[in-house]
Amino acid sequence: MQEDISIYEAAKYPWSVMARSLLKDLDVTLSEADKNPKILQRTSQRLLGALDSKSLVELEILDSNPYVELTSFFVAKALVDGIGSMFLRRRWATAEAKRAEYNLIKETEAKLAHIGQVEFKWQVENLTSRFAGRTFTHRLYFANYLAASAGFHEREWKLVNKRLSDGYVLLRKSETARVIRAAVEKMLVRDIKKITTDFPSNIKEVYNTVDEVVRKRTDRIRQEIQGEIVPEAFPPCMQALLADMREGKPLSHIARFAITAFLLNVGMDVDAILELFMKTPDFRDDLARYQIEHIAGKRGSTAYTPPSCAYMVSVRLCVDPEKVNIRRHPLAYYRQRRKWQSKP
Ligand code: SF4
């Protein structure tokens, strides 16, 4: 009975510590999953559903068998690692995090606090309080709140617009669930594993299907942003980073990553980017080349895209934060601007 309860819980939150340890206990292998058509079908649904921007993410647990639900998450994760596309990884992480939020809303307030404490080591408590006619259900330590909500750009999430008490941010239940969703998404995007084995045949088929959809989508986007590079269409954040490089100013690690990923995605080659970095302090040809090639996906399985506008704001690289509500990604800015500039 206890195991039934825990497998149902693990199926709802398959990224949790408890789910991972249960899967280890169940000792499920990819070869075993390969023989189960339900797992294969659900894996495919998870990934293709996440990639389909027109359809809403299906939030309910579709398969009544929690074992299938749990295992399909891990097969999907292995495929995301194997395919190595950041586009797919971000879409999949968003879909899984939305599903988590949908389930969290239905939990008790105490459970939400427990998840925050166990999964993210937050200082969070389920404590009911009332201020100005509003009821709050949780308090979250401000530093944890700031880290988790860094990508939120709506005014209501700014710390100045939050009720604070003794260094804790007071949150309603739906807000706590939203903050956990952001933390889940970030965790899934960052948890990249290198796949060293071949997938068994049926899982390989799902891999091929998903890979083809990803390739078509990213090729289309690439066609729109590649071709002749139009520097005038670069977004202000990237123009600012380029100006800093030309002036020989030191760039932070994340700034280097953002500008390199941006330039690679608009079609600049490794040598041309290397030349731009030559003026920066502490330049080392071998190290810089290695890093650029790594971001380009030439040294691993993942080719990276630059961070989203929300993330750029959180690391203070956005130079136009007022516009973040209308912009989502520096590459989207470039794509639109380039199209607009090439109109006769
Ligand atoms: S809104 Fe986005 S594209 Fe514009 S400067 Fe900020 S990060 Fe760059």
DSSP character string of 115-155: HHHHHH---EEEEEEEETTEEEEEEEEHHHHHHHTTT--SG
Is residue 328 included in any domain, yes or no? yes
Question: Do 257 and 270 reside in the same domain of the chain?
Answer: yes
pTM of the complete model: 0.75
Question: Do 252 and 206 reside in the same domain of the chain?
Answer: no
Structure tokens at 58: 């299906």
Question: Do 242 and 334 reside in the same domain of the chain?
Answer: yes
Structure tokens at 164: 């604070």
Is residue 182 included in any domain, yes or no? yes
What does the pLDDT read at residue 1? Answer: 43
Is residue 273 included in any domain, yes or no? yes
Structure tokens at 321: 């934060």
Is residue 154 included in any domain, yes or no? yes
- Ligand 1: centre distance to CA 151 (Å): 13
Residues with CB under 6 A from ligand 1: 235-237, 309, 312, 318-320, 323-324, 327, 330, 333
Question: Do 335 and 263 reside in the same domain of the chain?
Answer: yes
Question: Do 122 and 209 reside in the same domain of the chain?
Answer: no
Is residue 222 included in any domain, yes or no? no
Question: Do 269 and 335 reside in the same domain of the chain?
Answer: yes
- DSSP 8-state code for residue 196: -
Residue nearest to atom 2 of ligand 1 (CA): 309
Task: For residue 291, report the phi and psi dihedrals to the nearest 5 degrees.
Answer: -65, -40
d(CA 180, CA 172): 12
Is residue 174 included in any domain, yes or no? yes
- 94 CB contacts (<8 Å, ≥6 apart)? 50, 57, 185
Low-confidence ranges of the chain (pLDDT < 70): 1-5, 53-64, 224-227, 300-301, 324-327, 342-344
* Ligand 1 pocket: which of 153, 225, 237, 262 to mutate (most atoms within 8 A of CB): 237
Is residue 35 included in any domain, yes or no? yes
Is residue 221 included in any domain, yes or no? no
Question: Do 162 and 286 reside in the same domain of the chain?
Answer: no
How many domains would you assign to the chain?
Answer: 3
CB 89 within 8 A of CB 192: yes
What does the pLDDT read at residue 5? Answer: 59
Q: Pick the atom of ligand 1 nearest to 323's CA.
A: 1
Question: Do 31 and 54 reside in the same domain of the chain?
Answer: yes
C-alpha radius of gyration, the chain, whole number: 22
Task: Tell me which residue range forms the domain holding 159.
Answer: 109-187
